[in-house]
Amino acid sequence: MTGIRLLLLLPIFAFTQATEHHHKVFSFESEGYRTFRVPCLVIARNGAILAFAEGRAPTDRPPVGNVTTCWGAQASVADHHCYDKDIVLKRSYDDGRSWTDVARLARANATYFYSNENAAVDPTSGTVHLQYSRCKVATGYDECVNVLVRSIDNGETFGSELVLGRGLGGPAGGWVMRRAVGTAWHGRVIMPQYYYGTGMLFSDDGGSTWNKGNSIDNCNENGIAETSDGNLIMYSRIAYSYQPKFFKSFDGGVNWFPFVTADPFVNADCEMSITSFTNVERTMLLASHPNTNIKPEPNGRQNLTIQLSPDDGQTWTPLVQIYEGPSAYSSVIQVNDTTAAVLFEKSPIPPPVSFHSIELAFFSVPT
């Protein structure tokens, strides 16, 4: 990918604040929506940046359910009752400087609403796998299924829905396994999911058929990354307490075992995104999350931070502060050998009852 302006040139593991050159992607009360939330970021094989999100409370049709739970004064405390949500996409062909208009990929109606998207790009075929949750308006999040759509033209168009079974998406990102050469799970497509427990959906045939890994009780939103040895690490959020917990899998995401980091990991207070970052010398892990130990109250989510692990999750060091104000859900990915990018929810002032924008920030990673 060419032409990217790096925000930072960092010495190894230096903690630096990044406050400039963010590219605004989705904006509050624009393009027919009251607000946007739950970002998910991938880069297509042709270099196009694909930014997915939930488009909440559309203004061009009758509301689905109670609209105030999607964007108004009660949004932060009643988010689980927001049923007026589409899955939307914007594309950038110039490294994030400009974006297409919003494209609606799944449109809520009186029967269904959509939530919690994950995406992954197969580095071999270029297929973009997009998974999201389809839930019934009548029963809310108590009755949801994960569905998958695929694109073979770098995210320009997507095919028909394939139902993967009951559940909710990660959200924020899937993965295609690249380093487990010689194993049955090399090339496996993985999508985080949860439903009264957390785990993975996986496909060994390019997304045509799917299986479900074993679930971990009492956890919900989760994210995954591949470690240097071709195994998997998963972050999950403990239900109700929102404390972070890590797990590892040695069989491509079927079974998971508790994993304790050497450093106590900060309470992210919400979803956290995790990804693998590989350059010519080594594989590292990156995690993006609000850096706070405050309980999940309207003022609690702030200080979007990137942490780096050089040793497959054993230790973590703050790498860069992306934004110190109100910030929450995010999606972090590798761009090239020296650069990563994060798509994140941002608000200028607390309380962030409706995040004012979803922005893209680039940052450098030490080699």
Number of neighbours of residue 12 by Cβ within 10 angstroms? 11
In a domain, 18, yes or no: no
In a domain, 104, yes or no: yes
Annotate 59-112 with three-state secondary structure: CCCCCCCCCHHHHCCCCCCCHHHCCCEEEEEEEECCCCCCCCCCEEEECCCCCE
Question: Which is higher by pLDDT, 244 or 333?
Answer: 333
Check pLDDT > 50 for residue 20.
Answer: no
Give the model's pLDDT for residue 293: 58
Query: pLDDT by residue (tens digit) across 56-105?
Result: 999 999 999 888 899 887 787 788 899 999 999 999 999 999 999 999 99
Residue 64: CATH number of its domain: 2.120.10.10
The CA-atom distances, in angstroms, between 280 and each of 1, 23, 206, 338, 367 are 16, 28, 27, 10, 8
Give the model's pLDDT for residue 298: 55
Number of neighbours of residue 288 by Cβ within 10 angstroms? 33
**191: β partners:** 201
Give the model's pLDDT for residue 6: 32
In a domain, 44, yes or no: yes
Q: Tokens standing for 121? A: 């790009």
In a domain, 363, yes or no: no
Rounded Cα distance, 267 and 265, in Å: 6
Number of folded domains that form the chain: 1
In a domain, 43, yes or no: yes
Rounded Cα distance, 241 and 99, in Å: 37
Number of neighbours of residue 250 by Cβ within 10 angstroms? 15
Check pLDDT > 60 for residue 300.
Answer: yes
Rounded Cα distance, 157 and 264, in Å: 43
Closest CA to 137 of 163, 113, 116, 169: 113
In a domain, 293, yes or no: no
Burial bucket for residue 160 (CB in 10 Å: 0-12, 13-18, 19+)? exposed
In a domain, 23, yes or no: no
Burial bucket for residue 184 (CB in 10 Å: 0-12, 13-18, 19+)? exposed
With contact defined as beta carbons under 8 Å apart, do 214 and 255 qualify? Answer: yes
The verdict on whether omega for the bond into residue 348 sits within 30 degrees of 0, i.e. cis, is no
In a domain, 240, yes or no: no
Average pLDDT, rounded, for the chain? 89
Give me the domain span that covers residue 129: 33-171
**287: β partners:** 274, 307
Check pLDDT > 70 for residue 5.
Answer: no
Give the model's pLDDT for residue 28: 93
Query: pLDDT by residue (tens digit) across 227-262?
Result: 999 999 999 988 877 778 899 999 999 999 999 888
